[in-house]
């Protein structure tokens, strides 16, 4: 199922328990919530047999199913309604027929006001007579008119089809993932340590257009005989902490992601020395982990926060489909504090995702289609090579190779924060020997910003001509380097 823009739970549907500096999204487990399978079957039946009913009628039926469940508050009920709605199709009255019908009804009713239930000496027009008059004038039965009068209001949208979920367990698994997605909407930062599926995870992050930074972990050092790093001056590795309420995963009990405190307490941002951050990641990274991907969360983006948050939510099911990873996210709490959410590929959350798309965004797809496989001596290639410089890692969006041997790499920047743009500039400097250039969305640039000739600025689509000009400038500039190689 493809996630749409309305697939993220709202704050009224999200359930997060904060305890001891940790964040625990609501999660259903077979051990504690096996009886929810019956609820899920009944809820699916409501929608499967509910074509023609309004959202309000469907939601009331779901509320009735869960009304006597002691372990189910209003937010959980609303979340199930949201997830069932997302699997259905509704008539939203896009043609505006309901508004036209209201105008006609009100025009016919206005001369008859005021209306009363029973005629008396003062008021002679009754409600029933007015409805009969309006129905006669419009040539339609009143119940039909009344049913369509507010068809453009969300509560009165009527279900026209229900794709549904494959079974009751699938609905409950979707609920668990949706609650995790909603929790990560509060994330300022998310760090993923990956071993097996690093490039696939990175591809999904780029597909979602997430702000990301990649670094390589140094070889794990043997423990110090002095005891440091074991509670005596180093950051200790804490044992996995149990959930403050019964473990919540229909997929099974799962294994908690290792938890270690963020280095420096409130210093967990990018101002923490790289060595400290790498050492911290090694405490909870999976065995064989070579790379760490750091993502900026929705709570850190200065502009287009909702759009970025939706993209962030789309990334999560893709991550869950991968193997060999662990993550720690820093969440902003409702009262302005911070809490840590830890998860790993061993936790049992499940998601079905199609293979990664060839391109990371419509910007890249459109550009590649216009550029073609080869143009003016330049061959276009997708990302593939992982560039490493010390502990820094870079995987460009495009690689252009000329017939004379010149290679130019291009990275596309969509969403932004000042810190992210500065990191990209630092990447250019660090890998300057590899001819890395940027294509930056115009909305990313501060007002009045001066743009280097080595940066291509685009509005909604990346055009071929300025990129070709950039490639040729790079080729002429680096010709001596190419001839010497």
Q: How confident is the model at residue 266 (pLDDT cuts 50, 70, 90)?
A: very low
More confident residue, 237 or 275: 275
Mean pLDDT of all residues in 418-438: 72
Please give the pLDDT value at position 76: 96
Q: Of 213, 396, 195, 413, whose CA–CA distance to 297 is shortest?
A: 213
Share of the chain above pLDDT 70, in %: 72
pLDDT category, 410, cuts 50, 70, 90?
confident
- Across 291-302, average pLDDT: 80
In terms of Cβ atoms closer than 10 Å to its own Cβ (0-12, 13-18, 19+), residue 138 is middle
Contacts of 458 (CB under 8 A, 6+ apart): 363, 439, 440, 441, 442, 466
Domains along the chain?
16-88+167-344 (no CATH), 97-151 (no CATH), 362-484 (3.90.1570)
Q: How confident is the model at residue 11 (pLDDT cuts 50, 70, 90)?
A: confident
Confidence of residue 122 (pLDDT cuts 50, 70, 90): confident
Average pLDDT over the chain reads 78
What pLDDT is recorded for position 348? 85
The per-residue pLDDT for 7 is 63
Q: Confirm if 26 and 174 have CB atoms less than 8 A apart.
A: no
| Terminal Cα-to-Cα distance of the chain (whole angstroms) | 50
E strand intervals along 179-250: 187-194, 212-216
- Residue located via tokens 């420096």: 264
187-214: b (≥16 Cβ within 10 Å) or e: bbbbbbbbbebbebbbbbbbbbbbbbbb
Query: pLDDT tens across 12-30, in order?
Result: 899 999 999 999 999 999 8
Average pLDDT over residues 246-274: 40
CB 421 within 8 A of CB 404: no
Residues in CB range of 85: below 8 A, 6 or more apart: 55, 58
Of 211-225, 263-277, 283-297, 331-345, the range with the lowest mean pLDDT is 263-277
Nearest C-alpha neighbor of 235 from the set 263, 258, 266, 267: 263
Decide if 172 contacts 32 (C-beta within 8 A): no
Beta bridge partners of 296: 189
- CB atoms inside a 10 Å sphere around CB 361: 18
Cα distance between residue 406 and residue 474, in whole Å: 9
- Residue spans of beta strands (DSSP E) within 20-59: 22-25
pLDDT number for residue 245: 43
- Could you identify the residue written with the tokens 């041997």? 405
Task: Tell me: pLDDT of 428 over 60.
Answer: yes
Q: How confident is the model at residue 177 (pLDDT cuts 50, 70, 90)?
A: very high
pLDDT at 269: 42
Give the C-alpha separation, 149 to 295, whole Å.
47
Average pLDDT over residues 296-313: 75
Residue 441: is its pLDDT beyond 50? yes
User: What is the pLDDT at residue 32?
Assistant: 92
Distance CA 210, CA 414 (A): 8
Is the pLDDT assigned to residue 275 strictly greater than 80?
A: no
pLDDT digits (tens, 9 = 90+) for 60-71: 999 999 999 998
Residue 359 in this model has a pLDDT that exceeds 60:
no
DSSP H/E element including 464: helix 464-477
Task: Return d(Cα 197, Cα 230) in angstroms, integer.
Answer: 30
* pLDDT score, position 288: 58
- Smallest CA-to-CA distance from 22 within 318, 256, 180, 243 is with 243
The answer, yes or no, to whether residue 421 has pLDDT greater than 70, is: no
With bands split at pLDDT 50, 70 and 90, how would you rate the model's confidence at 138? very high
| pLDDT reported for residue 242 | 44
What is the tens place of the pLDDT at every residue in 363-399? 777 888 888 888 889 998 765 566 766 656 677 778 8
- Please indicate whether residue 188 or residue 444 has the higher confidence score (pLDDT): 188
pLDDT classification of 159: cutoffs 50, 70, 90: very high
Q: How far is CA 287 from CA 30, 80, 220, 430, in A?
A: 28, 37, 10, 28
- Cβ-Cβ contacts under 8 Å for 155 (sequence gap 6 or more): 54, 55, 56
Rg (CA), the chain: 28
Q: Three-class SS of residue 233? A: coil
Identify the residue with better confidence: 450 or 375.
Answer: 375
Statement: residue 259 has pLDDT above 60: no
User: Which residues are CB-contacts of 90 (< 8 A; sequence separation ≥ 6)?
Assistant: 55, 157, 158, 159, 160
Q: What is the pTM of this model?
A: 0.67
């Amino acid at each position: 199922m493809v996630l749409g823009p309305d697939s993220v739970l709202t704050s009224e549907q999200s359930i997060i328990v904060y305890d001891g500096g940790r964040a625990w999204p609501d999660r259903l487990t077979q051990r504690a919530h096996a009886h929810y399978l019956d609820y899920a079957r009944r809820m699916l039946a409501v929608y499967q047999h509910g074509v023609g009913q309004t959202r309000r009628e469907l939601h009331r039926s779901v509320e009735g199913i869960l009304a006597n469940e002691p372990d189910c508050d209003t937010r959980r009920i609303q979340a199930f309604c949201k997830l069932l709605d997302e699997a259905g199709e509704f008539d939203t009255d896009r043609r505006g027929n309901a508004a036209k019908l209201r105008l006609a009804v009100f025009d016919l009713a206005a001369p008859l006001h005021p209306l009363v239930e029973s005629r008396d000496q003062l008021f002679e027009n009754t409600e029933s007579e007015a409805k009969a008059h309006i129905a006669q004038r419009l040539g339609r039965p009143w119940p039909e008119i009344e049913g369509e009068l507010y068809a453009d209001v969300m509560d009165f949208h009527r279900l026209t089809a229900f794709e549904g979920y494959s079974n009751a367990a699938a609905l409950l698994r979707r609920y668990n993932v949706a609650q995790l997605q909603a929790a990560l909407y509060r994330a300022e930062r998310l760090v993923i340590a990956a071993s097996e599926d690093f490039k696939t995870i990175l591809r999904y992050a780029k597909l979602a257009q997430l702000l990301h930074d990649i670094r390589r972990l140094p070889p794990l050092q043997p423990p110090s005989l002095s005891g440091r790093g074991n509670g005596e001056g180093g950051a200790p590795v804490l044992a996995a902490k149990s959930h403050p309420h019964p473990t919540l995963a229909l997929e099974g009990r799962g294994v908690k992601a290792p938890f270690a405190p963020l280095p420096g307490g409130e210093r967990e941002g990018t101002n923490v020395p790289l060595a400290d951050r790498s050492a911290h990641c090694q405490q909870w990274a999976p065995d064989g982990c070579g790379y760490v991907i750091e993502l900026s969360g929705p709570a850190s983006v200065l502009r287009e926060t909702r759009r970025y948050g939706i993209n962030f939510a789309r990334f999560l099911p893709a991550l869950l489909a991968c193997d060999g990873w662990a993550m720690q996210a820093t969440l902003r709490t409702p009262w302005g504090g911070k809490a840590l959410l830890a998860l790993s590929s061993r936790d049992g959350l499940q998601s079905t995702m199609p293979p990664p798309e060839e391109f990371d965004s419509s910007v890249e797809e459109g550009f590649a289609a216009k550029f073609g496989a080869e143009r003016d001596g330049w061959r276009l290639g997708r990302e593939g090579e992982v560039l490493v410089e010390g502990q820094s890692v870079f995987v460009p969006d495009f690689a252009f190779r000329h017939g004379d041997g010149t290679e130019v790499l291009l990275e596309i920047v969509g969403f932004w924060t000042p810190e992210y743009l500065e990191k990209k500039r630092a990447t250019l400097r660090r890998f300057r020997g590899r001819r890395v250039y940027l294509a930056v969305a115009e909305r990313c640039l501060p007002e009045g910003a001066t743009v280097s000739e080595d940066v291509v600025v685009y509005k909604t689509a990346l055009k071929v001509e300025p990129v070709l000009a950039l490639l040729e400038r790079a080729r002429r500039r680096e010709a001596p380097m190419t001839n010497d190689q």
